[in-house]
Structure formats: C-alpha cells, structure tokens
Amino acid sequence: MSEDAGARLAREVAAALRSAGHEAWLVGGCVRDRLLGRPVHDRDLTTDATPAQLRRLFPDAVEVGAHFGVVLIRRGGAEVQVATYRSERGYRDGRHPDEVRFETDVRADLARRDFTINALLEDPFTGEVIDHVGGLGDLRAGLIRAIGDPRDRFAEDHLRMLRAVRFAAELGFAIEPRTFEAIRGLAPAIVRISAERIRDELSRILAGADPRRGFELLDEARLLEQILPEVARMKGVEQPPDYHPEGDVWTHTLLMLGMLRYAPLDLAWGCLLHDVGKPVTQTFEDRIRFSQHEKAGAEIARAILERLRYPREFIERVVWLVAQHMRFKDAMRMNEATFRRFVRQPGFDTLLELYRIDLASSGRPLEIYEQVRQRRAALPPEALHPPPLVRGRDLVAMGYQPGPAFSRALKALEEEQLAGRVRTREEAEQFVRRVLESQTT
C-alpha cells in the first residue's frame, strides 16, 4: 500500500463520516510517525459512529473486531482501520477487557490507550494535531510515558511493558521514570502473555533500529529474566581476556547486537544466542574454557525458539547458525571437499556475517573471515553444486539392483566430485562400480 493511496482513502472515509454528522480523526502510530518524520504505513481512524452506523455507511467493510467496534475498509490497494470511541473496564486475564462501552467523547477513548505519543489526534484534512494527553511534549522530549497511572495501563495489557521497550529502542526515546518503575514492579506478570505475542515483540526489537538498546532495557526493566532466563544467565560469565577483552558473555552479546540495524531476523537471533551455551559449559582449567558450547547452545536455542512458537523452518535456521558458528577456526585447514560442503550450505552467507560480527565485537582480526570469503568466492557455482555425473537410473542401466547401496554410492560420488577427484562420466562410473562391488564382497 503506497502512502498516498492510504492518505487518500483515509480522507475519503473521514469525509463520509463527517458528511453523516460524525467525528473522524486520524489516531495512533500514523500521527506519531508523521510528526517524527518517519514513514507512515497503517492509518487508523477513530470516530463516534457506532458499529451499526459504520456498517450502514461502509457495507463493504470487514469487521476485524466486532466486540471492539473495529472495521477494516479496503479500496484500490489501500486499507484504513476505523474504530468506534470506546472505554474498557476490568482485565482479569491481563489482556482482554471484561467490559467494553462505546463512547461519544474522544477523550474517553484516548484514556484507555497505552502511551501519550500514541494518543494524538490529527485532522485528516488540515493536518491539525489535537493533544489531550501531553503526547506532543513527550514527542519533543523523547519520552515513552503511559497515559494516566502506568500500573493501570500495564495491568490492562501486560504486553504494553514490552511495547514500551520496543518503542524506546526503535525511536531512541527514554522511558519516563514512573512508567519504567511500573514495568519493573509488574515484570513477573509478563509470563501471563501468550508466547506468540511475546515472540512478535521480541522479533520487532531484534530486527529493529537498535536491538542492543532494546535488550539493555529488557534487562534493566527485569523483563529479560522473565522471558529469556537463558539469555539473562550470560551476565557475569567471564571469558578469557586474550580472546574476549571486551568482557563477559553478556557484554560480548550486547556488542554484537549493537552492530545490527534492521538486520534479518535469523541473523539477529543468531547473534543473541550464539553463545547461550557458555554459562552451562564454562570450566576453569589452564584458562577459562567453554568446550562444546556451540552444541549445548544449539539445544538451548531450540528450546527457546520452540517455547516462543517460531515456525519450524525458522528454528532450524537459527539452531544451525548457533551449532556452526565455531567451525570457522578450522575452515582454512579443511580439505577441498569438506570446505565445499561447509560453504555451500543454505544460509552460509548469514553464518559468515555472524562470524564477522563475532570477531569485530571482540576486536579480533578478520583475517580468517577474509580468507574464507575469498576462498569461497574463487569457487565457481558448479564446484559447489556439481551436476551428478551418475544417477540412480544409470546404476540400473549398469546392471545393479536398486537398494540402500545406491544412495551410499551416489553420496560417495558426490564427495569425490566436490573434492575434484572425479570429473568425467567415465571416472564416475568406474568409481561407483568400485564402491558397489566393495559392498558386496
């Protein structure tokens, strides 16, 4: 949806509402982002028109929250969400109101919203901004402030505590002291929120403008120990200063996150979790060691991402990054076949970037990184993915009976091709004959 199309549709819908005698205001993130000079994406309107009146005015609208009086209007590739003014009471589950009441005064609607900077109104036609909650001052001051009593706002929806952190990290704002203290006091309640909602906020923080700041705030607000205790345990875990002069595992991880800005989500999770196995593998021998921490870390990463209910494919990508991140130290000693198998894996570019960030955050030279990158770049595509010189049907034509030995022989042939020891069809046939005949003797 283009910004212009969304703005035009918002004015069109607002004009229809006002022509029918109703109020209509832009509200929320679209107003905030315009004032901050940020790209405006979703446009929300709020109105005193009741749900029944909205249905009559916009028969093509889709009800996306009938209980809350919210409809979605789509036209010409653009969409606008329209919500009836409402107040809410009682939040026994920390998310859903026990009672919803439709209102005629916009100030009653604004009072139930989360933060002052998200409760500014804008006239869709003149651009005039109406501020009933002090949001303009907080925008100028760079503050995330809850509307009214912050404990009440966070009790209504515990996820707002994570949203405060996300907005602060994304916008470069501070969290207003009373709001921050309320989060610290109510932090244990965050576990009542569904894993999917927590996951989505963490994803936005990690793939956002400043994931390091986001995770520093999660820690300071006591939320980190509640939702990611495995990550919180990295604090204070010493590392050998010869390899990690920057400090403990947590400091190292924060430095890595500080090198990310709108990063791919799998890379961001890989940076966060690549050393999550160190707290459980730390030993003090001739020096501090973390033997097999990548293996332990992969298991922990899987448990975390499964708990947060990420898609299976995504989990496998991140677990693979954690499990593989230590292989670079041996990369230049790998024989040709092993090296080619290593660098042709799906996701290798992400793994290589993770390694670069890992080195840079510790102030270590990028020599091995550059060697691996150059050695891989010198390989033509057919060297990494050689076309099979012999297939299963060819083995049948050569007089062999299908069976498990076929796959073993073809796998061995692929290794020979990767190593560059088999290059022609004739060499391939000779090789698989030797392999198959050795398995029958």
Give the pLDDT of residue 302: 98
pTM above 0.85, yes or no: yes
Same structural domain, 117 and 183: no
CA distance 136 to 151: 22
* Residue 292 CA to its chain's centroid (Å): 27
Instruction: Examine residue 238 and state whether it is found in any structural domain, yes or no.
Output: no
Into how many domains does the chain fold? 4
Instruction: Examine residue 249 and state whether it is found in any structural domain, yes or no.
Output: no
DSSP run (H or E) holding 88: strand 86-89
Same structural domain, 334 and 347: yes
Same structural domain, 147 and 209: yes
pLDDT digits (tens, 9 = 90+) for 228-248: 999 999 999 999 988 898 989
Instruction: Examine residue 251 and state whether it is found in any structural domain, yes or no.
Output: no
Same structural domain, 181 and 202: yes
* Residue 372 CA to its chain's centroid (Å): 28
Supply the CATH number for residue 184's domain.
1.10.110.30
Side chain identity, residue 369: Y
Same structural domain, 133 and 147: no
Instruction: Examine residue 128 and state whether it is found in any structural domain, yes or no.
Output: yes
Burial (Cβ within 10 Å: 0-12, 13-18, ≥19) of residue 372: buried
**Which residues are registered as beta bridge partners of 2?**
none
Instruction: Examine residue 316 and state whether it is found in any structural domain, yes or no.
Output: yes
CA distance 181 to 198: 20
DSSP string, 311-345: -HHHHHHHHHHHHHTTGGGGGGGS-HHHHHHHHTS
Same structural domain, 373 and 412: no
Same structural domain, 375 and 396: no
2-19: b (≥16 Cβ within 10 Å) or e: eeeebbebbbbbbeebee
Q: And the tokens for 387?
A: 């076309």
Same structural domain, 48 and 123: yes
Last residue of a domain, one of 178, 212, 227: 227
End-to-end CA distance of the chain: 67
pLDDT digits (tens, 9 = 90+) for 288-345: 899 999 999 999 999 999 999 999 999 999 999 999 999 999 999 999 888 998 999 9
pLDDT (tens place) for every residue of the chain, 441 residues total: 445 788 999 999 999 999 999 999 999 999 999 999 999 988 999 999 999 999 999 998 998 876 778 999 998 888 999 999 988 776 665 566 667 888 999 999 999 899 999 999 999 999 999 999 999 999 999 999 999 999 999 999 999 999 999 999 999 999 999 999 999 999 999 999 999 999 999 999 999 999 999 999 999 999 999 999 999 999 999 999 888 989 899 999 999 999 999 999 999 999 999 999 999 999 998 898 999 999 999 999 999 999 999 999 999 999 999 999 999 999 999 998 889 989 999 999 999 999 999 999 999 999 999 999 999 999 988 888 888 888 888 888 888 878 788 888 888 888 788 777 888 888 888 888 888 888 765
Give the pLDDT of residue 90: 62
DSSP run (H or E) holding 40: none
Same structural domain, 165 and 222: yes
Domain that residue 274 falls in: 261-384
Instruction: Examine residue 374 and state whether it is found in any structural domain, yes or no.
Output: yes
DSSP run (H or E) holding 386: none
